[in-house]
Structure 1
Amino acid sequence: MLKNIPKILSPELLKALCEMGHSDRLIISDGNFPCESIGKNSIVIRCDGHGTCEILDAILKIFPLDTYTEKSVNLMEVMKDDNIKTPIWKEYEKIVKKYDNRGKKTIGQIERFQFYKEAKDAYLIIATGEEALYANIMLQKGVVVE
């Protein structure tokens, strides 16, 4: 057991997060994301039974966001013809703001198929059981300065 590490972060997940370097990206995916096919060149860690918000909150407690890029957090943009609401994005904003003083300003959106393309280069994909649609979120790792 370790102190001050969120219990939701498994040893396998902690190892992968620790191995990531500056500018490496990770995806926290919803339950519909094709994590195994997209993540053929990535580490894929399953966190079924957990939602994206609780995983995001736990990760941001220990994971620095990149300050050398304007948008170190990116969401999968809703397709033009999809009439889908994304209330989970407001939750993401609150969580990001809690750990990064840029808050909403560091959150961007990437068109769906471009998001898939960029996700293929992610170091890590965390597959959750999140049921919200368009709940995929990409984080770019920064530098620890303390």
Structure 2
Amino acid sequence: MKKHGILNSDIAKVLADLGHTDKVVIGDAGLPIPEGVKKIDLSLRLQEPAFQTILELLMEEMEVEKVFLAEEIKEQNPDQFERTMERMAGVDVAFVTHETFKEMTGDAKAIIRTGEATPYSNIILQSGVLF
């Protein structure tokens, strides 16, 4: 049995298989999942698990060089925006419209669905390299 890090075998496998610039999405309960993209559904009920819980875990486990957020999060969910930005020290942050964001999820290696039920609580994490 694994002792440390993410115990969810689906998430652990996706992270282990990532290459440079591959993308993983953390989505709220309402984010549509494009056909053909692996969905890892962690939602238990509304707000569980929270978006920030999963973001914290992935930021610990994954080398992230860039993230994408919907521009709308700034005004529509300022608390979530602020908490997310606190985790992004040293990471390039790009903003796109929510419609563009949803289109970008089509080439993700996986979308991790949370129980989050606040608007625009979604992020694309782009893998970096350790060297």
Q: TM-score, normalised by structure 2?
A: 0.86
Alignment length, in residue pairs?
126
1:75 and 2:75 correspond? no
Q: Which residue of 2 aligns with 1:119?
A: 105
Q: Kindly indicate which of the two structures has a greater share of residues assigned to strand.
A: 2
Q: TM-score, normalised by structure 1?
A: 0.78
**Among 17, 20, 37, which residue is 1:19 paired with?**
17
Q: Which residue of 1 aligns with 2:39?
A: 44
Deviations 1:86-141 (A, max 9, x none): 310111112223xxxx25xx222111111111111111100111011111111100
Contact map agreement 2:42 2:113 (CA 8 A) in 1: yes
1:32 and 2:30 correspond? yes
Deviation at 1:144, TM superposition (A): 2.4
Deviations 1:36-59 (A, max 9, x none): xx2x22211011131111101101
Equivalent positions of 1:51-62 (< 5 A) are 51-62=50-61
Contact map agreement 1:21 1:141 (CA 8 A) in 2: yes
User: Letter of the aligned partner of 2:52 in structure 1?
Assistant: C
Which SS does the other structure have where 1:87 is aligned? helix
Contact map agreement 2:70 2:120 (CA 8 A) in 1: yes
Moved over 3 A (4+): none
Seq. identity, %: 25
